[in-house]
Structure 1
C-alpha cells in the first residue's frame, strides 16, 4: 500500500469515527431523562400562594396531570415553557411548568409525583400552619411584621428571625436595614424572598427576609423594632410607606447542669458523626492508615463544631490534616460540616488499639442530652519488609485540600448509560489510534539507530547533579529544599543508600513533620554522605533495576 493510499484510508477512518461520536453525543440525551418538582417554600401559612415548578431535562409533548392536587390545593393557574440549548456541542432540551397553588387546609400536605413520558418526579411534603386571624381593613394597604422561631433558646442555640413586608398595589421602591442582635453571632439565611398571601379576601405581595443569630450570653434579650421606608401605588394613589414592627423579648437559657462539663457545648437540631478508613492489606510498620472523620450539624455554624483531640500513643503516631469546614444556608437554618483526615503510622508490630471516640451534644428539638460513640478499632500490624535496595521509608505526606462537591441524584439507568457511552467512545478512540500507528509504521522504512551514548549519559546523570551541588551550598542549605533535591537526585537512577544516609533522612523527615528538633549538622551530614555516594558511583560499574523513589513532601507543588 502506497503512502497516498494509506493517508486516504486513515482520513476515512477518522471521519467515520468523528461522525459516530457526533451521533452518540446527540442521541445520548435519550438516556439522561429525568423529571424534578420543587416549591418555592416548604413552610407556609393558610392563604400563602405557593409556586410549584415541574421540569424535565428532555423535550416532550406530554404534560403532567395537575388534577391530583385538587383535594388539598386550589390551583390558581399554570404556565408551560420549553427551551433548547446547544452549549459547547452539548444538546439540551427542557420543558417546564409553573403552577400557582394555595392550600385548602393546614397540616402536612403531600404534593404527589408527576408522570411525564413515563418518568416520575419525587413527592414533596409541604408544612402548612394556621394563619393568625387578622382583618385586612385594619391592616391597611401595607404593614411590617417580625417573628422568631423560639423565644426561650439556649445560649449559642440557633434562632431564626424573620421579617415580612406586606403591601397591596404596586411596589415602587423602599429600603430596610439588617437587624442588630446584641451579644450574638449573625448569619444571613434568606435575602428578599417574594410571594403572595391572601388575607381577609385581599391578595398581598410579601417580601420576606430571614436571619439566624446565636446568643452568646444567657439572660433577657430584646430585639428592637424594625422599620421599613418606601413608596407604593395603590388604587392610582402614590403612598409613602413608614411601617414599624413591635419589639421581641427573648429569655436565653444557660447551658444545662446535666451537660458534661468537659465537653464542647453543642445545642443543635441534629448532629451526625461518621468515619471512613483506608488501610493497606496487610498493614506493616511504617504504612500509612487514613481515617476520615465527618461531623455534620443542623442548627450550628462550622465555627461552633469542636476539634477532635487525640493523645499520642506508644505504638503509633497520628498526623492530623487541617480540617475542612463548610456552611450551607437552608430554609430551616444553617447546616455545617467539618471533615478531618488523620494519617496513622504504626511504629511497632503487633495489635494496636485505636480508642473509641465520644461526642456529646444537646438535642434542642427533644431538649435532651445525646451521645455519639465511634467504637474502638483493633489493627494487626506486621513487621516492615526488609528492602533489598535499602530505599528510604517516608511518613505520610500532607494531602492537597480536596474540593467539596455536592451530590446530585440520578437514576440508575442514567449511570449505566453514561458508563456505556464512555466505554464506547474510548473504544472508538483506540481504534483510531491503532490505525494511526499502523499508518505511521508503514511510513517508517528505516529502523531507528541505537542510542547507546545517550543511554550511558542518562544512567550516569544522577552522579553529577547540579541541583545537589547548589542546595548543598552553605548559603542555601535548608531542610525543605534539601529533601526536594534528594528526591530529584534519587529519581535519576537506581541508587543504593547507606545506613548513615537512611538515619539522617529519618531525622529530616521527623523534623518536617514537627516531631522533633533537627540538629544543624544533620543537613551537612546528608550532603557529605551524598557526595561520597556520588564519588563511589562514578567508579562503580552500572547496575540494572530500579529502586523505590522518595515521595515528595508536597506532591502537588511545583
Structure 2
C-alpha cells in the first residue's frame, strides 16, 4: 500500500501489511523533489530494528524537462507483536505519514524448521478453507532456505475441482525469518483464485526446488564454475482442501457480488444548473476490495423522462498487491437534458456479500 503526505511529496510504501514476528520486511520513502533535509529514522528504533538501509536516485528527461526522485529503502524487523505503527518520519521540515501494520505470531511449521538439518522447506498457505462462488482465495507458496543456493524454482501448482479464475499477485518476494536458532531466507509467491461455482477445490502439494550448497564442502565458487559443490533438492508441502459453499439464501440482490469491502463513488460537475442540449458527464466508480474486476456487475442506467443518457463502455482495472486484488469498474455517462425542468437522478444501490461479517450489505 502507498500513501502520500500532504505536507511534502513523500511516498511511504510497505512491501506487505501482515508480517510474522522475526520476519524482515521492506519500508521505502520516495521523494519526487529534494526534501527539506535528510531523514531522521530514529523514531523507528522503539518498535523496530533496522537491519540495513540504502538510497537510490532516478532522473527522467522528457521533452527537455527534468524530473528526479530519491528513494530510501530500509529492511526492518519488529520488536513486538500486534498492531504496530510506523511513525511519521521527518525529512527536515517535510514529514511522511504514519501507517499501521500487523505483526503476527510466528507460525509453527509442520516441517519443524530449525529442529532438523533440512536446508530446504516448502510451505503452502491459503487465506480461507471455506469460500463462496467468485470469492477471492489467496494462495501463498513459500520456500525456506537455510543454506546458500545458486538457483531455485517453483513447479506449476496443480489445483483440481470446480472451475476458477486465477490472478497473479506479483513477483517473488524475498525476506528473512527465524525458527528456533536457525535463520532462513524466504522466497514467497502469491496468487489469487476465484472459484466459479459451489463444490470443492484440492490444491496439490506445492513443489519447489533449489541448487543448495553442500555443507562442509571446501570448494570455492570462483574455482567451481560448474557448481559441483551444489546439489539439487526438491521439497513438497502438504496439500490443501477448500469447500466452496452455495450462494447464501440471505442474499437477495439481482447480481451476486462478494468482497471484503465495496465502495460506490460518483463524480458530477459542480453546480446544479445546466443548459438544454449540452451534455453533462456523470462518472461512476465501483471499487471492490478482494474481488476481480471481471466479476463486477455492470451499472444499469434507469430511464428518466426528459434526459437522454449515453453510457460509455465500462473501464476495468485490477490493482494487485501481495495480499490480493482490488477490482475497479469505471463508467462515464453523458446526460443530455431535452427540456427545462428539475430532475432527480435515482439512487444507485449495489447489494454485496461482506466476507468479513458474512452478511449482506
8 Å CA contact 1:38–1:124 kept in 2: the answer is no
Q: Distance in 1 between matches of 2:249 and 2:70?
A: 57
Indicate the residue corresponding to 1:164 in structure 2: 142
Indicate the residue corresponding to 2:49 in structure 1: 74
Structure number with higher helix proportion = 1
Indicate the residue corresponding to 1:458 in structure 2: none
- Alignment counterpart, residue 211 of structure 1, candidates 157, 176, 191: 191
Deviations 1:426-473 (A, max 9, x none): xxxxxxxxxxxxxxxxxxxxxxxxxxxxxxxxxxxxxxxxxxxxxxxx
Instruction: Report the secondary structure of 1:303's partner residue.
Output: helix
**Structure 1 segment 258-269 matched on structure 2, within 5 A:** 258-260=250-252, 263-269=254-260
Q: Matched residue pairs, number?
A: 337
Indicate the residue corresponding to 2:359 in structure 1: 368
8 Å CA contact 1:35–1:116 kept in 2: the answer is no
Structure number with higher strand proportion = 2
Indicate the residue corresponding to 1:87 in structure 2: 61
- Alignment counterpart, residue 53 of structure 1, candidates 28, 41, 54: 28
Deviations 1:186-228 (A, max 9, x none): 0001221111112222221111100000011212321111211
1:251 aligns with 2:225: no
- Alignment counterpart, residue 185 of structure 1, candidates 160, 165, 169: 165
Q: Distance in 1 between matches of 2:158 and 2:241?
A: 14
RMSD: 2.7
- CA displacement at 1:345 relative to structure 2: 2.8
8 Å CA contact 2:157–2:207 kept in 1: the answer is no
Deviations 1:224-271 (A, max 9, x none): 1121133111433523211011110111121110111x5110000111
Q: Which runs of 4+ in 1 moved over 6 A?
A: none
Indicate the residue corresponding to 1:276 in structure 2: 267
Indicate the residue corresponding to 1:359 in structure 2: 350
- CA displacement at 1:175 relative to structure 2: 2.3
Instruction: Report the secondary structure of 1:69's partner residue.
Output: helix
- Alignment counterpart, residue 195 of structure 1, candidates 175, 181, 187: 175
Q: Which range moved further: 46-55 or 162-171?
A: 46-55
1:140 aligns with 2:118: yes
1:152 aligns with 2:152: no
Indicate the residue corresponding to 1:229 in structure 2: 209
Using the size of structure 1 for normalisation, the TM-score is: 0.56
- Alignment counterpart, residue 98 of structure 2, candidates 104, 108, 123: 123
Q: Distance in 2 between matches of 1:60 and 1:273?
A: 36
Q: Distance in 1 between matches of 2:33 and 2:302?
A: 55
Deviations 1:276-327 (A, max 9, x none): 2238874454343332211111111111111122344443332222111111
Q: Distance in 1 between matches of 2:180 and 2:33?
A: 42
Structure 1 portions without partners, runs of 5+: 1-31, 371-558
Indicate the residue corresponding to 1:104 in structure 2: 79
Q: Distance in 1 between matches of 2:277 and 2:71?
A: 58
Structure 2 portions without partners, runs of 5+: 1-6, 218-228
Structure 1 residues 207 and 285: alpha-carbon distance in aligned structure 2, compared to 1, 3 A threshold: same
8 Å CA contact 1:280–1:289 kept in 2: the answer is no
Using the size of structure 2 for normalisation, the TM-score is: 0.83
- Structure 1 or 2, whichever has the larger Rg, is 1
Instruction: Report the secondary structure of 1:338's partner residue.
Output: strand
- CA displacement at 1:84 relative to structure 2: 7.4
Instruction: Report the secondary structure of 1:271's partner residue.
Output: strand
8 Å CA contact 2:37–2:93 kept in 1: the answer is no
- CA displacement at 1:356 relative to structure 2: 2.5
Instruction: Report the secondary structure of 1:87's partner residue.
Output: strand
- Alignment counterpart, residue 18 of structure 2, candidates 43, 63, 88: 43
8 Å CA contact 1:220–1:249 kept in 2: the answer is yes
Greater relative contact order (Cα < 8 A, sep 6+): 2
